[in-house]
Structure 1
Amino acid sequence: MQTDTDIAALTIPETIFLWFQANLMNILGAFAVLVIGLLLAGFISASVSRALLKSERFDQTVARFLSNVVKYALWIVVLVTVLTQFGVETTSILAALSGVALAIGLALQGTLSNVASGVMILIQKPFKVGEAITVSGLTATVQNIGLFTTELKQFDGLFVMIPNSELWNQPIINYHRHPVRRFELIVGIAYGDSMEKAREQLLALAAEDERVLDEPAPLAFVASLDDSSVGIGLRVWCATGDYLALSWALTEAAKARFDAVGLSIPFPQRDVNLAGLQGAGLQGPVQLGAQAGKGAPASSE
């Protein structure tokens, strides 16, 4: 048995050899735990990734993120187990790691909030790439959904990047989530024109356009009684992809059809009583008008 004096007289290589000799079983056990633990962590994380990718609720980005979280968590467990093989007190190490994690979390609070919101967006899927949405007064098409930010493209071609936390905390209107949507057109006619005739003409326009769905059936109705006109409404349903083109076509066709059948779309008018002019021989209301464009009466105030 070597005494302390004999150990002190050993060289550094001899000391290392003696340490390895005394801790050979612990070293072998730690190595085995390390190899098996890393292989097991890789297998479990890959299995989690495959399981998440099979589910339609999880995006590929979320699947990779969650599988990496599982893998890194298992790596920490393996590291702590290896240190335990050498008799290292892991309680203080875990406490230190917890303190570091808390400090990093506080420093990256906004970033972590964006990550959490990004994960929820990718899981809940309130919108997908290629869909048009409105959020916080901004209407644009989704280009890319990341863990930190979402990239949008406005209809005028401008690029917009929004932090995910701002998207997740706001009401979102998705224009493409449902396969069909309703279009409503309101056209004003003169009070002297036939409301029934106007409704018939609007329904005829809807029947002539093959993009208008039969169910729900088109509906024409009196929408409002305005100051200068009677608002005749038309409600039709169409495929979401046809909405914009159909709205343009029906609006233009309604104006042309009303002109063809003698239904007028009046300009706003106001009757002004000039009380001070009654003594000069003017009686009753006087209609004031101005030319707006070529031969068209404009609004009078």
Structure 2
Amino acid sequence: MQLNWEGVMPAVTTKFTADDKLDLDLFEININAQLDAGVHGIILGGTLGEASTLTNEEKSVLIKKTVAIVDGKVPVLMNIAEQTTKGAIAAAKQAEADGALGLMMLPPMRYKAGDEEVVTYFKAVAGNTDLPIMVYNNPVDYKIEVTLDMFEKLLEHDNIQAVKESTRDISNITRIINRFGERLKIFTGVDTLALESLLMGANGWVAGLVDAFPKETVAIYELQKAGYIKEALEIYRWFLPLLELDIDPKLVQNIKLAEVYTGIGSEYVRAPRLPLAGERREEVLSIIKKGIATRPQLPDYKNLSQKAVLS
């Protein structure tokens, strides 16, 4: 299957049982909800996937299970978030062996690498896998920025093909397009800037609240792509209070709680995380319940004709 760098790709949560094992049955329910909504890929092992708490064996199980569930409908990508170059290369090779068709990749974890170290790190992994790579650029949370000058060097590798743009600087999308054209595909990685980013030319959306609200997320993408901006805006404005749950330190717990109330997840997280409790849980629940109570009726977003744009 060809990996097309476009559309909505959920950064899916990892489902756990009450005794802290992988809940593959509930995981399958959620993945099928994503597929039914029309997502364009599945990304495993990101921040929302609680990657830092997963064993290598669990990551392999999740890739193989997801590949079996999607059955060729969409590509499966694995996030690489490792402390060493050696570990990142091994993780990339394992993901490829397990059936992943692409990688999302963070700079080195824990150690705050310099620019040349980051470039060398990405190049080393790219040179040891045939899988296409999306660089996850999130200096806000991970304290390392992959600059355009660094991308200039990285793009010497044909399989470095996309960026998950999470700098929170909306104008960076235009800078990337002006510098690299179609050579570097752009995915917005911040839910609260998603529609703005798509309208500025981003090719896709690595989404978070999609885990609980898959149809609404895909509808926004498809509507704006077809030129139905007003209709996309109406859904996006309804969605924004929920999307803000993604830019919170407790984003995993927030989104898992939302999954409970839309019937496609559970609150179980892996320690040291704990489920939301007390006043904050009630605040998040209030946002979720209001969102569900006012959920918009969606158009037939899977069968849109291209809207004519008057010049």
TM-score, length-normalised on structure 1?
0.16
Relative to its length, the structure with more strand (as a share) is 1
Structure having greater relative contact order (Cα 8 Å, sep ≥ 6)? 2
Report which of the two structures shows the higher radius of gyration computed on alpha carbons.
Answer: 1
> Please, what TM-score do these two structures have when normalized by structure 2?
0.16
